[in-house]
Amino acid sequence: MKVEVIVYGLLLFSVSLMLHIVIWRIRLPLMSSLMLVLLLVGAPMVFGLCLMADLCGSARFFGLNAIETAEAVLLQFCLSGSYIAGYPAVRVVSPSLDILIMIAASPNKQMGEEEILHRYMEMRLVSARIDDLRSYYLLVERNGRYVLTLPAHLIAKTFLLYRRFLGLQMGRG
Amino acid sequence: MMYQMHPELRMLLILLLTPLTVMFLHAVLVRLRRTVPPQKVAFHASLCGVGPVFLLLWRYVFSSVGPTANLALTAVYCIIIYCALSYIYFHFYNMSETARRIRILCEIEMAGSMLPEDLASLYRTTDVVSVRLRRLVALHQLQYVNGVYSISGRTLYWAGKAILCWRTVLGFERKRVGP
């Protein structure tokens, strides 16, 4: 394997990440998670696949052949995937991490359950998530009831099947 | 057939099997270790996956590369990809376990449709917080002594701090936003 594979993979990821920071600082995109996937995975993948198709003969791009380009794209894909996997916790601070920071910041570095609950009673723990699902068109209201759209059906079925495969009940959220 | 392929193509195929390998091991470990916190089991499955994946890599890739600097570079590449794919798998599992949006979708999928008030009653704030407190105690990130919670481990605490810093880099509002 050439060192260029790792260098180009890291470079591709760094450029995508810089673009992400610049765009997000200018204006947080609507459907930011979807935009992030397109920016970090979609665009580099399309670029990589076009390049691989072009390189299937003996052509080379920056000294890389088709397989080496695929290796660089896989590296970029994995790094981007790792970043995207952690992005929901960045977009809306998770209650678990928030609880830890809250306890550490409290005067005695300890809190009772009532005290912790009191803080969360004022927050929109569930309705904010429902609004989020509606903004992504995963949930729609029909005759006063919430129903899933087709993509949401697929997501829900995937997770239900996955949990069944693992032999676990549905997660507690 | 594997031997007819280019060694680097073999490597890519084996690495791409990582999430599946970890998922199968995870399914086995879940059934063997019912009392261990679920996130720990998922992490252990990622660790166990190292064995079969790197055995296959050794058999079909490393042995044909030869003991050169190239081998070290290939090994570094494989380790990065394995760690990243395992990390992605762990987050996928974690979503199925802890994400409220996924739970809401699954509840509606099973019920067919739901009234807004049914959804709210199903998912009360007290439950959300209690479940997380129990989870953090099980993961040794919090300890519960004499009716109060205090910090025990620092891993997730520092992860939370790092996330807050990254929010500032991305230009999210600086106030600590709730869930």
Residue A97, judged by CB atoms within 10 A of its CB (0-12, 13-18, 19+), counts as buried
Q: Is the pLDDT of residue A57 over 70?
A: no
Kind plus residue range of the DSSP H or E element containing A147: strand A145-148
Q: Which residue carries 């397989």 as its tokens?
A: A67
**Residues 116..175 of B with a Cβ closer than 8 Å to A: which?**
116, 119-120, 123, 125-133, 135-136, 141-142, 147-151, 156-157, 159-161, 163-164, 166-167, 169-172
| Interval B44-81: pLDDT, tens | 999 999 999 999 999 888 887 666 657 888 999 999 99
Cβ within 8 Å, pair B149-A110: yes
**Number of C-alpha atoms within 13 angstroms, CB side, residue A74?**
25
B23/A165 touch (CB, cutoff 8 Å), yes or no: yes
Strand partners, A61: A64
Q: Say whether the ipTM exceeds 0.90.
A: no
Which residue in A6, A92, A170 is closest to B179 by CB distance?
A92
Residues of chain B with pLDDT below 50 are: 175-179
Q: Do A130 and B119 lie within an 8 Å CB cutoff? A: yes
Residue of A nearest to B134 (CA): A96
> What pLDDT score was predicted for residue A16?
92
Give the DSSP H/E element, type plus range, for residue B179.
none
The beta strand positions in chain B, using DSSP E, are 142-145, 148-151
Task: Give the nearest partner residue to A96 out of B38, B95, B136, using CB atoms.
Answer: B136
pLDDT of residue A140: 92
B150:A112 CB<8 A: no
pTM for this model (two decimals): 0.84
Q: How many other C-beta atoms can be found within 10 angstroms of the C-beta atom of residue B145?
A: 9
User: CB neighbours (10 Å) of residue A17?
Assistant: 15
| Chain B residues with CB-CB distance to A171 below 8 A | 96-99, 102-103
Task: Provide, as residue numbers in chain B, all residues whose Cβ is less than 8 Å from the Cβ of A16.
Answer: none
In which element (H, E) is residue A141 found?
Answer: strand A139-142
Taking only the tens place, the pLDDT of each residue in A62-86 is 677 888 888 999 999 999 999 999 9
On whether the CB atoms of residues B82 and B11 are closer than 8 A, the answer is no
